[in-house]
Amino acid sequence: MSELKKLKAEHKILHSLTSSKGWEHLKESIIKDEVLKVAYSLCENKPMDVDQIHFQRGAMWAARRFSSLPDQLMHTLENDIALLEAQAALLTSPEPI
């Protein structure tokens, strides 16, 4: 399988993931709820040391990054596909005089 076909197949898989009801449920319900729980725990007046605060912030950052990961991967694949298609077009076009 050529590199271009492989990238297009990966893009199709990611597109089907992001358009699925399961991903929407995971992203909108579960991840969003967990981030809200962490945010609420940070704004409560309970004593927390700096390491605990940084851990909570890191958990929120990781959840946000995880929820946007398929979209970021799709954009990367789209750019790689466009680059390979442009390179292929240059190789097949006649050379200028």
The residue type of 91 is L
Is residue 94 included in any domain, yes or no? no
Q: How does residue 51 score in pLDDT terms, banded at 50, 70 and 90?
A: very high
pLDDT for the residue 93: 75
Structural domain containing residue 69: 3-89
**pTM here?**
0.75
Number of separate domains in the chain: 1
Q: What is the DSSP letter of 19?
A: T
Residue with tokens 């399988």: 1
pLDDT tens for each residue of 57-73: 999 999 999 999 999 99
Nearest to 11 by CA among 73, 86, 67: 73
Nearest to 17 by CA among 72, 62, 95: 72
Question: Is residue 28 a part of any domain in this protein?
Answer: yes
Decide if 72 is inside a domain.
Answer: yes
- Helix 3-18 vs helix 50-92: crossing angle, to nearest 10: 140
Contact 16, 96 (CB under 8 A): no
The mean pLDDT value of the chain amounts to: 90
Please indicate, yes or no, if residue 96 is contained in any of the structural domains: no
Share of the chain above pLDDT 70, in %: 97
